[in-house]
Amino acid sequence: MLVVDLDPDLAALRPLGGFFVLRTTAAAPGPTSKTLPTLAETYATAASDVHPDALTLRVTTVAARLHTPELRVSASVSQQGLAARLWSAALACAAVYGRVPDLDPRLLRWDATATAPDDLWLTEVRPLPGDPGAAAALADTVLHGHLEPLGDALRARYGVAAGLLWGNAGSALAGAARELDRWARANGRTEVAARARALTDELFAHPLLRTTGSRTGTAFRRRSCCLYYRVPGGGVCGDCCFVRPPRSSPGAASG
């Protein structure tokens, strides 16, 4: 596989669309990115109730936009949105460049008030090991570096079930892989499509993801529900375990 150096502004991600693009300080320097909290700070402060933090701001902002009084629901939607951004950028870099950038939470700044896709700034572009080991690097940086501490914070604060959050993670990965495959095929980048599929297969073999759902090609059917059906006017998502919104108690479908 051809391996290309990561350029300072990750320009190869731009044609893929907003969920895949990472802002970098090299491409867009300025005071705005420096005033935003890092995700490391977000995960750390979210573990306590000492003062309002970026994660609280995100969950309450999403709740207001969705017109839902249930913070557990907006916490789920918020987590899935951030997971989709992280998977999209990381998987696309691995498939397009053959390199995974270091997405350490200390290097990523986050605008918790932005509309979807979540606005992320990477303060330094530096590669993690490429082939072999790209899937392991993706798992380390996204699953362990971000989604585990994010999930811990959301469970502690909002009581969101672990199975639901890992289902969101699997759904976000499947969605990123599906969109990357679609773009690659439409643009004659068959090697990118093949690489994305292989990496996605390896990632879904990970213990944290292997039980989140079933896959057929790029299609995914999860075994949990993200609770979007509880949003006023909402319904079931395309990969939901339900075929129609359930009539159940508020705690149902959370695992």
Q: Residue 128: its pLDDT value, please?
A: 83
> CA 155 to CA 72: how far, in whole Å?
9
Q: Which two tokens stand for residue 93?
A: 């870099």
In Å, the largest CA–CA distance within the chain is 52
Spatial CB neighbours of 10, under 8 Å, sequence gap ≥ 6: 21, 22, 24, 27, 89, 93, 101, 122, 125
Whether the full predicted model's pTM is greater than 0.85, yes or no, is yes
Q: Which two tokens stand for residue 64?
A: 């207001």
> CA 161 to CA 76: how far, in whole Å?
9
Q: Residue 129: its pLDDT value, please?
A: 60
Q: What is the pLDDT along the chain (255 residues), one digit of tens a residue?
A: 557 789 989 999 999 988 899 988 765 555 455 678 899 989 987 655 544 588 999 999 999 999 999 999 999 999 999 999 999 999 999 999 998 999 999 999 999 998 877 789 999 999 886 555 889 999 999 999 999 999 999 999 999 999 999 999 999 999 999 999 999 999 999 999 999 999 999 999 999 999 999 999 999 999 999 998 999 988 889 888 887 887 754 444 445
Element holding 112 (H helix, E strand): none
Which of 111, 100, 84 has its CA nearest to residue 10?
Answer: 100
> Where are the chain's structural domains?
11-211
Which of 119, 96, 87, 122 has its CA nearest to residue 183?
Answer: 96
